[in-house]
A = this chain, B = another copy of it.
Amino acid sequence: MFHFTAIVTCLAILFYFLTSIQVAKARAAFGVKAPATTGHPDFERVFRVQMNTLEWMPIFLPSLWLFAVYVSDPFAAALGIVWIVGRILYLTGYTQAAEKRSRGFGIQAMVCGVLWLGALGGILWRLIHP
């Protein structure tokens, strides 16, 4: 079973959900009414945090689970925690200024790279050693 990866999946969903709450708050704070998604740069950066997190979910979640299945459940979960931390740094940085988004972005991208490479390596290993 993959209990640790399952918990981290729940936490990643929670974080992602919180980025959309930030967008709702920023809509009210900067007077950007739905369906508009532009109109104030401070709103647009908060909106981009949610969108970018959404954009990375189909990279993160499948890589996380393939890594968990083909390599290790606790190792996948540990990497998933680092991903969430990177995402939190990205959120706090980008909300302040567009230039401050790089560090958190780099961390979460690196984690996804490790998960993806580990998963691919694990799959190929199993194909070769059935």
* Residues of chain A having any CB pair with chain B under 8 Å: 1, 3, 6-7, 9-10, 13-14, 16-17, 20, 33-36, 38, 41, 44-45, 47-48, 50, 54-55, 57-59, 61-63, 66, 69-70, 98, 101, 116, 119-120, 123-124, 126-127
Instruction: Tell me the complex Cα distance, A41–B70, Å.
Output: 42
Report whether A55 and B61 are in contact in the complex, using a CB–CB cutoff of 8 Å: no
Q: DSSP majority for the A interface?
A: helix
Known: A1-B126, A123-B6. A13 touches B59 (CB 8 A): yes
8 Å CB contact of A54 from B10, B58, B61, B66: B58
Q: Shortest beta-carbon distance, A130 to chain B, in Å?
A: 9
8 Å CB contact of A3 from B14, B35, B47, B123: B123
8 Å CB contact of A58 from B16, B101, B116: B16
Contacts of A50 in B (CB 8 A): 55
Closest to A42 in B: B35
Known: A50-B55, A126-B3. A116 touches B10 (CB 8 A): yes
Report whether B20 and A120 are in contact in the complex, using a CB–CB cutoff of 8 Å: no
What are 14 A-B pairs with beta-carbon distances under 8 A? Answer: A7-B127, A10-B66, A10-B120, A13-B116, A34-B98, A34-B101, A35-B45, A35-B47, A35-B48, A38-B38, A54-B54, A54-B58, A57-B58, A61-B62
